[in-house]
Amino acid sequence: MSEHVIHPVAPPAELQRLPLVTNNRSFGWISDRVAAIVEGKTPWWWWVAFVPSALAAGWLLVMLAYQISTGVGVWGNSHPVMWGWDIINFVWWIGIGHAGTLISAILFLLRQRWRTAVNRAAEAMTIFAVMCAGIYPALHVGRVWFDWWLFPIPTSNAIWPQFRSPLMWDVFAVSTYFTVSLMFWYVGLIPDLAVMRDRARTRIRQFLYGLFSLGWTGSNRHWSNYEKAYLILAGLSTPLVLSVHSIVSLDFAVSQLPGWHTTIFPPYFVAGAIFSGFGMVLTLLIPLRKLCGLEDVITMRHIDVMCKVTLATGSIVGYAYGMEVFIAWYSGSPYERYAFINRAMGPFAWGYWTMIICNVVVPQLFWFKRIRHHLLIVWILSILVNVGMWFERFVIIVISLHRDFLPSNWGYYLPTWVDITTFLGTFGLFFTLFLLFLRFLPMIAISEVKGVIPQADPHHPLGDGSKGGAH
Amino acid sequence: MSDVFPKWTNRLPMLLLVGLVMAGTAVVAGVWYYFTPKYTRVGYQPIQPVAFSHALHVGQLGMDCRYCHSAVEESWYSNVPSASSCMNCHNQVLKDSPKLDLVRQSAATGEPIPWVQVHKVPDYVYFNHAVHVRRGISCVECHGPIHQMDEVYHAQPLSMAFCLDCHRDPASRIRPVDKVTDLEWTWNSDPAIAADLQRVNGEKFVHDWNVQSLQNCSACHR
């Protein structure tokens, strides 16, 4: 009887996983290519993007100064629509941040190795989006010099913030979110900052990267501690992905206004946040991978996967819209029914249908592989996703507020030029910070990407078998 | 690999941490002490245009607060008397004293004496004297020992916490209505017995007089 030999059979080509870095790139290539964005000459497109962004960010400061010195009356918020673009934009920006945390924390815990190519940029996006978001609640209280009253500090007023209010929980949710996201981003940066330090050609670069890399030497002990810290922060961030936007949704759901008073809000807001966040990641990374020559790191497989996440979350959002309408009918409450009829057929119906097209119809196109692999179409659809998500908040806030229980209490809402240019200014701030990030920090997690290429596996034919573990 | 930083910089993080903790503690302590009405308002003692002594008139001569501040039981506002009130006595007593020149002049012309206001709540605070005085809250609770002051000074912080301390526990301060202007009055000369009597009677008064001591925002911020 002959010895039974199992011959390994490779799976058919269409079932094989595509490599995460294409064209069989080496470790050195990854370091050089990512570092080149920081070390090379400033590219023309950087200035083309940076100058208008910085000007818009400057304009944001002018608008904030105008609002603080004059009062919230410079915005369009007025009875009965007392929350306008300020809260729309707050929720929109904070929602965008959620993709970064999902990619960095949940996908890390789920061992989704493709995250390594996009997590650094997505986390940076998160932090800058939360900064843009934070401006709005701080300003919309009217007297910004009393913002510190939001925090439970013992004062000679002998009163505390209202702990039963979701607006209070918001303060804790958003500030925790920002702090943990910043920590997570920074801890992940440390090994790469050390790479930048070691490659530095000037004293000032060596000093600054050296300062922030905290004396990283790449020893086994450093890596061991680093991996533990990263895992702990991933664990801390994971509930935040779900909690932050749940609490933001409670700002609405806890009130008794038809259109707001809905138990579906927390999961629906979280899905919408991840949906819009992935939209923004795609919007940012599709041009960047081209401009920075990173097509082999942020591959079509990455784009494809992110399109699928967008499709999944977009479908959840679409389901939530349908369920809201169903419950409005099923509840039998005439006010609830009217709120939804008014959304679809009232004076702001254009906003509702823009939302439906962008958030329900558009993501369904991602079922088609040919669309997922057509970069220009994906890029345009990713922008439409965020247009839709902006209109979702517009629909929830403005349409629900403008017609409540009493017809004598009805009105219309128009933003002012200050609302509009302040919003444009937050884009300026966001892109200014993001462009500075691109130019001064490695936008790809160099060490993590190296860990997921075949060469990193000693069992792989391309791996370095001489270092042990090979057959 | 060459060192980017010299070896002594290894101590910097710890030093920075200690420094930050100390600086943070100092800032908190400084704000705590210097930035509240306990510091910013208590002790304010402007020089008044007429050297009127409450210590003399109330403490020694035993005049009742309401002789001059006559509207305090009826009005939200406790009036500062016009010079004619002063002249009720001072047309006989010290009628040629140069210290009273301004009073005589005011009484003659009707031009008020420019007293400097010492106790002042902000515009966004509504405070009603009558409702407090007629429900057994003594002048001394907010204004301090006026009957011992030659020149009036700010004795209590009058912060929001100061108001709320009493509004949250009115039984600890309330007293018989006829003792409101008796600034020296206590239940008993023994503080322990006085405290017991205050608790028992205070709770009785709060109940019997239907003292609400409102704590909703619009009670004061109308």
What digits encode the pLDDT tens for the residues A403-444? 988 889 899 999 999 999 999 999 999 999 999 999 999 999
Residue in this structure with the two tokens 């795609």, named with its chain if needed? A282
In angstroms, the separation between the Cα of residue A78 and the nearest Cα of chain B is 22
Report pLDDT digits (tens) over B107-158: 999 999 999 999 999 999 999 999 999 999 999 999 999 999 999 999 999 9
Interval A376-395 mean pLDDT? 95
Helix axes A203-212, A166-199, angle to 10 degrees: 140
Interface contact A215-B161, CB threshold 8 A: no
Core vs surface per residue A7-36: b (16+ CB within 10 A) or e? eeeeeeeeeeeebbbeeebeeeebbebbbe
A153 occurs within a structural domain = no
B28 occurs within a structural domain = no
3-state secondary structure at position A295: coil
Query: CB-based contact (8 Å) between B192 and chain A?
Result: no
Query: CB-based contact (8 Å) between B159 and chain A?
Result: yes
B29 occurs within a structural domain = no
Distance CA B127, CA B219 (A): 9
Choose the closest CB to A156 out of B5, B10, B36.
B36
The whole model's pTM is what?
0.88
Question: What pLDDT, on the 0 to 100 scale, is given for residue A467?
Answer: 47
Look at A179-183, B6-10, B164-168, B197-201 and tell me which has the smallest mean pLDDT. B6-10
Query: CB-based contact (8 Å) between B167 and chain A?
Result: no
Question: Is pLDDT of B1 > 70?
Answer: no
Contact list in B for residue A155 (CB cut-off 8 A) is 36, 161
3-state secondary structure at position A161: coil
Interface contact B160-A215, CB threshold 8 A: no
Question: What pLDDT, on the 0 to 100 scale, is given for residue A19?
Answer: 80
Interface contact B1-A198, CB threshold 8 A: yes
Interface contact A206-B4, CB threshold 8 A: yes
A317 occurs within a structural domain = no
Question: Is pLDDT of A468 > 70?
Answer: no
Confidence of residue A208 (pLDDT cuts 50, 70, 90): very high
Distance CA A131, CA A146 (A): 19
Query: CB-based contact (8 Å) between B124 and chain A?
Result: no
Question: What pLDDT, on the 0 to 100 scale, is given for residue A461?
Answer: 65
Choose the closest CB to A156 out of B1, B5, B160.
B160
In angstroms, the separation between the Cα of residue B212 and the nearest Cα of chain A is 19
Domain residues for the domain of B70 are 39-80+115-220
Averaged confidence pLDDT in chain A: 90
- How many domains is chain A built from? 1
Interface contact B160-A159, CB threshold 8 A: yes
CB B113 within 8 Å of CB B103:
yes
Averaged confidence pLDDT in chain B: 93
Interface contact A158-B5, CB threshold 8 A: no
Distance of CA A109 to the CA centre of its chain: 18
Interval B184-202 mean pLDDT? 94
* Other Cβ atoms closer than 10 A to A164: 8
A464 occurs within a structural domain = no
Query: CB-based contact (8 Å) between B14 and chain A?
Result: no
- Test the B interface: residue of A145, A148, A156, A213 with most B CBs within 10 Å: A156
Domain residues for the domain of A127 are 23-145+160-304+415-454
A181 occurs within a structural domain = yes
Distance CA A261, CA A251 (A): 10
Burial class (CB in 10 A: 0-12, 13-18, 19+), A157: middle
Phi, then psi, of A292 in degrees rounded to 5: -95, 5
Interface contact A210-B5, CB threshold 8 A: yes
B33 occurs within a structural domain = no
Interface contact A157-B38, CB threshold 8 A: no
Confidence of residue B31 (pLDDT cuts 50, 70, 90): very high
Nearest CA in chain B to A205: B4
Look at A11-15, A142-146, B11-15 and tell me which has the smallest mean pLDDT. A11-15
In sign, the C-alpha dihedral spanning B212, B215, B220, B222 is: negative
Question: What pLDDT, on the 0 to 100 scale, is given for residue B81?
Answer: 93
Question: What pLDDT, on the 0 to 100 scale, is given for residue A471?
Answer: 36
Contact list in A for residue B37 (CB cut-off 8 A) is 156
Q: Where are the alpha helices (DSSP H) in chain B?
A: 12-34, 37-40, 54, 65-68, 83-90, 101-109, 129-133, 139-143, 160-167, 191-208, 217-220
Q: Residue A237 carries which side chain, given as an amino acid letter?
A: S
Question: What pLDDT, on the 0 to 100 scale, is given for residue A18?
Answer: 77
- How many domains is chain B built from? 1
Percentage of chain A with pLDDT > 70?
96
B10 occurs within a structural domain = no
Interface contact B4-A157, CB threshold 8 A: no
Report pLDDT digits (tens) over B70-103: 999 999 999 999 999 999 999 999 989 999 999 9
Burial class (CB in 10 A: 0-12, 13-18, 19+), B48: middle
A279 occurs within a structural domain = yes
Which residues 28-67 of B have a C-beta within 8 angstroms of A?
36-38
Interval A83-111 mean pLDDT? 90
In angstroms, the separation between the Cα of residue B26 and the nearest Cα of chain A is 16
Question: Is pLDDT of A465 > 60?
Answer: no
Question: What pLDDT, on the 0 to 100 scale, is given for residue A154?
Answer: 86
Phi, then psi, of A344 in degrees rounded to 5: -80, -25
B5 occurs within a structural domain = no
Closest by CA to A312, choosing from A281, A283, A280, A278, is A278
3-state secondary structure at position A299: coil
Largest CA distance in chain B: 99
Interface contact B5-A215, CB threshold 8 A: yes
